[in-house]
Amino acid sequence: MISDQLPALVIVIPMLAAPLCVLVRKPIVCWAIALVANFLVVLSAWALFEKVREDGVIRYALGGWAAPTGIEYYVDMMNATMLLLVSFISCVTLVYAYKSVSKTVLTSKHYLFYAAWMLCLTGLLGISITGDAFNVFVFLEISSLSMYMLIAFGTDRRALTASFRYLIMGSIGASFILIGIGFLYAATGALNMVDLAQRIPDAESQRAVLVAFSFLTIGLMIKSAVFPLHGWLANAYQHSPIAVTAFLAGTATKVSLYVLLRFFFSIFGPDYSFGAMLLNVVLLPAAVAGFVLLSLVAIFQSDLRRMLAYSSVAQIGYIIAAFCLASQSGLTAGIVHIINHGIIKTALFMSVGCILYKVGHTHSHSLDNLMQKMPLTVTAFILSGLGLIGVPLTVGFVSKFSLISAAMERGWWMVGALVLLSSLFAIVYIGRVVEIMLFRKSRTETPAPVGRSEAPLMMLVPMYVLIGISIWFGVSGSTTLSVAADAAAALLGGYQ
Amino acid sequence: MKLYTRQRHRVLQIVTKLVIPFVLLFALYVQFHGDYGPGGGFQAGVIFAAAFILHGLIFGMQRTRRVITPTALRILMALGVLIYLGTGIVSMLLGANLLDYNALASDPKHGQHWGIFAVELGVGVTVMAVMISLFYSFASKR
């Protein structure tokens, strides 16, 4: 019986944890509630993933109302992968969050922090699981609003501006998405995704469909921070509490990318969006410019968090470029990079968080000789940095290799070459920091006595769990590649 | 007979005192009549909150805060969500899908009735609490 209810449990458990946190109010109890809830969600998502892998698509009618009338949850390989990724990253980051949050956030506000975290998780999982276009918007709002709140918890006063800026941009994006969904509803009279996919080709007013398509494209580009519309991201990542940054970097933009995939591939269909509508012409230049320019911009950042934020936009560029190929191999590369980048970027932000915890700032210029002070953290930074660059035997290599070979397959040599060029930039920006941490002599006249002062275990262990997983996925690339290939096939195959 | 420390708005204060019980009663009517006629938790919550907001406007924030404290509002907010979700979970425990009210009573019609009743109650409580705390946070100087 419980296995039939898994799709609902994934949403209900974190949603239940949020009000419980507000009622309990004791920081450590709230954290424990959130963590237990999150752990249960990971288990449910895992069970759901295994079930979908064996038996195929699961459809769950909410409230017992069957699909076109009611809201349904539609789980195929693509959703199941996203659910597992998002819930797992959230769980690991939540373990990590306790120490850093209790240092930076006012104790009296902790319960609100964990409640917002749980709501954000609910929203992100809801977006991933639902099979109803309007429901996507509702969950998008839940996750976004709680995310603005989480960002505003940052110690710096600039966190408020960053949060407000994201609020403005995010609201514009969300309303564009809503307008798009509204036009789709006007054109087809359906909100259910499966229904929409069937009705769009013979909709009476193709112009309304076109308008919907344009609004959705722009809205989703803002939400997933594709190159020219990424303005909100850098500040939000830099000023929010570091645990939140790690959580956001691994999940929020990834879920928006998933919605983009869902709309362009499952609902509109690749023939419409990439064939008739020439989405390539819009998205590919943006993606390529994104990964080349922002990797270049990342080189000149002196703040580690800001550097990694720009690198995130660049990585989103890779993913979008892979989607633009609109082929099985291209989508596989994109989805694999969603998984891989989610894991390594979270690990990277975690290691930066450890530095922030012990050193108190993240200006890369004054992190000299950090290796002697915090060897474990710096090792973690280097290991995940190598993954970001794409050195063989790391996850970055798996995704970049599959991206380049998919581009070659299509004959897009320039894209392949530019991916390599931006990887060179990645070597520079990661290498520059590593050089400072490992080799640079202290510039101060009398170097401070160097003692080991490592971040607490509760921060180190989650970080190393992620790094372990990234190494495993890097060495045996077929684990993630086969999952991504199944997900890509589910997207390209359309709804059954 | 000294009723209030602030004597200036005597008429307003007395009229408000007369009106508030009716506003609350009307809110309850909208709340519990929502499954038959127009109305429901959202509207009822707003009307219920309007009574408190009126009280705050006329008698000052200090007195309203004593009637219903911000902490109580936070608890009510969470409680409303819990009532809503609890209904869904009960229906799951009874072997149906989330929020499938048919399972709540032996007769599906009654089940739907009970389900909507409980869910709307949750919505009403949360909306009321959120409305009042919005008023508090915009009206207070801190």
Residue B7's pLDDT band, with cuts at 50, 70 and 90, is low
Q: List, for residues A424-454, the tens digit of each pLDDT value.
A: 999 999 998 888 888 876 665 555 556 677 8
Q: List, for residues A193-214, the tens digit of each pLDDT value.
A: 988 888 888 887 888 899 999 9
Residue B77: its chain A contacts at CB < 8 A?
19, 22
- Residue A175: partners with Cβ closer than 8 Å, 6 or more residues away: A219
Q: List, for residues A73-115, the tens digit of each pLDDT value.
A: 999 899 999 999 999 999 999 999 998 888 888 888 889 999 9
B40: left (phi over 0), alpha (psi -120 to 50) or beta: left
Nearest alpha-carbon partner for A447 in A370, A363, A345: A370
What does the alpha-carbon distance between residue A64 and residue A72 come to, in Å, rounded to a whole number?
A: 9
What does the alpha-carbon distance between residue A308 and residue A413 come to, in Å, rounded to a whole number?
A: 27
With pLDDT > 90 as the criterion, what percentage of chain A qualifies? 50
Tell me the ipTM for this assembly.
0.88
- Residue A239: partners with Cβ closer than 8 Å, 6 or more residues away: A151, A154, A156, A158, A159, A161, A162, A163
Q: List, for residues A317-366, the tens digit of each pLDDT value.
A: 999 999 988 889 999 999 999 999 999 999 999 999 998 888 888 888 88
**Residue pointed to by tokens 């909507």:** B116
Name the more confident of A98 and A3: A98
Domain membership flag for residue A420: yes
Nearest CA in chain B to A4: B97
**Element (H or E) spanning A381, and its range?**
helix A375-389
User: Distance (Å) from the C-alpha of residue B69 to the closest C-alpha of chain A?
Assistant: 15
What does the alpha-carbon distance between residue B28 and residue B45 come to, in Å, rounded to a whole number?
A: 9
CB distance A15–B92 less than 8 Å?
A: no
Q: List, for residues A296-315, the tens digit of each pLDDT value.
A: 999 998 888 999 999 999 99
- Residue A182: partners with Cβ closer than 8 Å, 6 or more residues away: A212
Among A67-71, A186-190, A237-241, B79-83, the least confident range: A67-71
Q: How many CA atoms lie within 13 A of A452 on its CB side?
A: 5
**Residue pointed to by tokens 């909306």:** B127
Q: List, for residues B14-60, the tens digit of each pLDDT value.
A: 999 999 999 999 999 999 887 777 778 899 999 999 999 999 999 88
So what's the pLDDT on residue B3? 52
Residue A19 contacts B where some CB pair is shorter than 8 Å: yes
Q: Measured between CB atoms, which of A1, A12, A18 is closest to B89?
A: A12
The amino acid at residue B136 is Y
Domain membership flag for residue A262: no
So what's the pLDDT on residue A244? 92
Torsion angles phi and psi, residue A66, rounded to 5: -70, 165
Give residue A435's domain range. Answer: 303-496
Nearest alpha-carbon partner for A367 in A449, A456, A433: A433
Mean pLDDT for chain B overall: 87
Residue A19: its chain B contacts at CB < 8 A?
77-79, 81-82, 85
- Residue A145, pLDDT > 60, answer yes
Residue B4's pLDDT band, with cuts at 50, 70 and 90, is low
CB distance B77–A8 less than 8 Å?
A: no
Nearest alpha-carbon partner for A144 in A113, A160, A121, A161: A121
Runs of H (alpha helix) within chain B: 10-32, 41-59, 61-67, 70-93, 108-139
Domain membership flag for residue A347: yes
Q: How far is CA A267 from CA A150, A273, A494, in A?
A: 32, 10, 8
Domain membership flag for residue A455: yes
Residue B13 contacts A where some CB pair is shorter than 8 Å: no
Domain membership flag for residue A31: no
Q: Measured between CB atoms, which of B78, B92, B98 is closest to A19?
A: B78
Domain membership flag for residue A400: yes
CB distance B74–A22 less than 8 Å?
A: yes
Domain membership flag for residue A427: yes
- Residue A1, pLDDT > 70, answer no
Residue B82's pLDDT band, with cuts at 50, 70 and 90, is very high
So what's the pLDDT on residue A218? 92
b (16+ CB within 10 A) / e for B105-119:
eeeeeebbbbbbbbb
User: Distance (Å) from the C-alpha of residue B86 to the closest C-alpha of chain A?
Assistant: 9
- Residue A393, pLDDT > 90, answer no
Number of domains present in the structure of chain A: 1
Q: How many CA atoms lie within 13 A of A286 on its CB side?
A: 22
Mean pLDDT for chain A overall: 89
Long-range CB pairs of A360-365, under 8 A, 24+ apart, other chains included: A362/A303, A362/A304, A362/A305, A363/A302, A363/A303, A363/A304, A364/A301, A364/A302, A364/A303, A364/A304, A364/A307, A364/A432, A364/A433, A364/A436, A365/A302, A365/A436
Q: Cβ distance A373 to A450 under 8 Å? A: yes
So what's the pLDDT on residue A495? 76
User: Distance (Å) from the C-alpha of residue A166 to the closest C-alpha of chain B?
Assistant: 21
So what's the pLDDT on residue A156? 81
3-state secondary structure (DSSP) of residue A447: coil
Residue A1: its chain B contacts at CB < 8 A?
95
Domain membership flag for residue A436: yes
Determine the distance from the C-alpha atom of residue A452 to the mean position of all C-alpha atoms in its chain, rounded to a whole number: 33
pLDDT (mean) for A369-395:
87
Q: List, for residues A42-52, the tens digit of each pLDDT value.
A: 999 999 999 99
* Residue A57 token pair: 């698509």
What does the alpha-carbon distance between residue A312 and residue A342 come to, in Å, rounded to a whole number?
A: 10
Q: How far is CA B141 from CA B61, B136, B137, in A?
A: 10, 9, 8
pTM of the model: 0.93
Q: Cβ distance A137 to A177 under 8 Å? A: yes
